[in-house]
Amino acid sequence: MPTDAVTMDKIVSLCKRRGFVFPSSEIYGGLGSSYDYGHYGVLLKNNVKNQWWKAMLQERDDVVALDSAIIQHPRTWEASGHLAGFTDPLVDCRTCKLRFRADKLEDAQCGRKPSKHPGETPDCDLTEARDFNLMFETTVGPVKEEGSTVYLRPETAQGIFLNFKNYMQFARKKPPFGIAQIGKSFRNEITTGNFIFRTREFEQMEMEFFVPPDEAQSWHQHWLAERISWWTSLGLRPDHLRLRPHTADELSHYSSATSDVEYLFPIGWSELEGIANRGNFDLTQHATFSGQKLEYVDTATGERYVPHVIEPAAGVDRALLAFLVDAYDEDEIEGEQRTVLRLHPILAPVKVAVLPLVRKDGQPELATEVYRELRDHVQAEYDEGGAIGRRYRRQDEIGTPWAVTIDHQSLQDRTVTLRDRDSLAQVRVPIGELVDVIRGRLGELWRSPKLDG
Ligand code: GAP
């Protein structure tokens, strides 16, 4: 188990206090396992997604983008196997009226006696287990009774398979190539909890990589290495990350091999991303159900085959939680306790804070000028309220890597102090060089200071 200061409670409390994540619908008493992202949560989430797009699109020539609909033709879910097989076994307790996953009773608490598991007290009266489909249902059409039943997608992946033919025809793609998508997915999860780790509405970053069948295994290895390297390049400590191959009885119905990227959360090792070899399951199923040919044909040689698919599938919310947990730290400065998020600067919601030392003597005016210059280049924040120490603490808690302080000397020689969140080093920099200095620092290789602590 982790030895550092972080706990899930501390993360939840920091997220609420500093406006990263709020429990949803709070004024109505909240809705279990539903969360809203506040200002810094949105900025952090966007940075995570931008880094994923960068790795998938900008740094490669063989992946293209898609943004497909959330509500798709209902046959999609017959073909994909979700309608029949995307289920959890459930039991109800007739005494406490709570519902539990039959295969996770040892993780659940009895409604009447939380120190016991369901079924362990003489009062527990559990029903037989029955399958419960995790897809959210709704109807399309103005009259509910006459409309057709549709589903909110439980994964973004199927939208990619439905568009395979479009990409073959219009993007003139030839395997190996991938289609990447980020978007919301919905699952009526029974066992939620652990903050944003498992929720009913969440965001996925998925890429389906179509390959010639005999290359599937080597591409699977390629993507395992690529994805681990992406997580570590953004600062996650390597000793808190591992790849865990699924055992045969864990594999999804479509997969011939899956490895999970797992992170050592405060709740223990848990899945961040699944990297599956889906074989030709999905394209073959959609070809059968739609009557369309979903294959690659080489017009020069006449060769034809149904590509196999390698799928790296990560959760945005879980990524955010892992980055927050990995970054969370506590230390002491001049006898005062400090909470600090040691986020990779590229992920930090705000890159630089501009702080006049005092709210007089022309300092706010010069600080505003500096702030306006910086915000054209990076996400910056201006703060003139309260003691300077408290303003530093606030920026430390939201993970801002650098703070620029305008003081008396700044008005005389147009230099400012640049404070580093992690080392606390302060250097004097001419205002005219600030943008270049910050850009330079943002481009540097970064390593978590927690690795050295
Ligand atoms: N297309 C394959 C697929 O959806 P998955 O392992 O079920 O595979 C991929 O989901 C990722 O989506 C997971 O590794 C996790 O990060 C995220 N995810 C899945 N269910 C989630 C939930 N209920 N809440 C938050 N994230 C979830």
In order, the DSSP letters of 281-292 are HHHHHHHHHH--
* Three-state DSSP state, 257: strand
**Dihedral sign (CA 188, 190, 193, 197):** negative
Determine the residue of 191, 204, 209, 309 to mutate for testing ligand 1's pocket, defined as the one with the most ligand atoms within 8 A of the Cβ atom: 204
Q: Which two tokens stand for residue 362?
A: 């022309």
Tell me the CA–centroid distance for residue 273 and ligand 1, in Å.
7
Cα of 195 vs its chain's centroid, Å: 13
Tell me the CA–centroid distance for residue 190 and ligand 1, in Å.
14
- The predicted pLDDT at position 171 comes to 77
Tell me the CA–centroid distance for residue 205 and ligand 1, in Å.
9
Q: Give every residue of the chain whose pLDDT is below 70, as ranges.
A: 1-3, 144-147, 192
Instruction: Say if ligand 1 is within 6 A of residue 381 CB.
Output: no
Asked if residues 39 and 16 have their Cβ atoms less than 8 Å apart, the reply is no
Q: Looking at ligand 1, which atom is closest to the CA of residue 197? A: 25
- The predicted pLDDT at position 159 comes to 98
Instruction: Say if ligand 1 is within 6 A of residue 208 CB.
Output: no
Tell me the CA–centroid distance for residue 314 and ligand 1, in Å.
6
Q: Which two tokens stand for residue 203?
A: 């965001």
Determine the residue of 66, 195, 202 to mutate for testing ligand 1's pocket, defined as the one with the most ligand atoms within 8 A of the Cβ atom: 202
Q: Looking at ligand 1, which atom is closest to the CA of residue 199? A: 24
Please give, one letter per residue, the 3-state secondary structure of 379-412. Answer: CEEECCCCCHHHHHHHHHHCCCCEEEEECHHHHH
Tell me the CA–centroid distance for residue 203 and ligand 1, in Å.
8
- The predicted pLDDT at position 253 comes to 81
- The predicted pLDDT at position 1 comes to 39
Which residue's CA is the closest to the ligand 1 atom numbered 10?
Answer: 313
Q: How far apart are the first and last CA of the chain?
A: 17
Asked if residues 277 and 313 have their Cβ atoms less than 8 Å apart, the reply is no
- The predicted pLDDT at position 344 comes to 98
Instruction: Say if ligand 1 is within 6 A of residue 261 CB.
Output: no
Pure H helices in 210-356:
216-233, 281-290, 316-327
Q: How far is CA 181 from CA 13, 91, 187, 200, 216, in A?
A: 31, 35, 18, 19, 21
The DSSP symbol for 119 reads T
Instruction: Say if ligand 1 is within 6 A of residue 273 CB.
Output: yes
Pairing of strands 137-140, 148-151: antiparallel
Which residue's CA is the closest to the ligand 1 atom numbered 15?
Answer: 315
CA distance 365 to 378: 20
List CB contacts of 46: < 8 A, sequence separation 6 or more.
Answer: none
CA distance 381 to 263: 32
Q: Which two tokens stand for residue 246?
A: 């699924």
CA distance 451 to 453: 6
Tell me the CA–centroid distance for residue 112 and ligand 1, in Å.
31
* Three-state DSSP state, 352: strand
Tell me the CA–centroid distance for residue 16 and ligand 1, in Å.
24
Q: What are phi and psi of 433, to 5 degrees?
A: -105, -5
- The predicted pLDDT at position 2 comes to 40
Determine the residue of 82, 271, 309, 310 to mutate for testing ligand 1's pocket, defined as the one with the most ligand atoms within 8 A of the Cβ atom: 271
Tell me the CA–centroid distance for residue 173 and ligand 1, in Å.
28
Instruction: Say if ligand 1 is within 6 A of residue 198 CB.
Output: yes
CA distance 446 to 354: 22
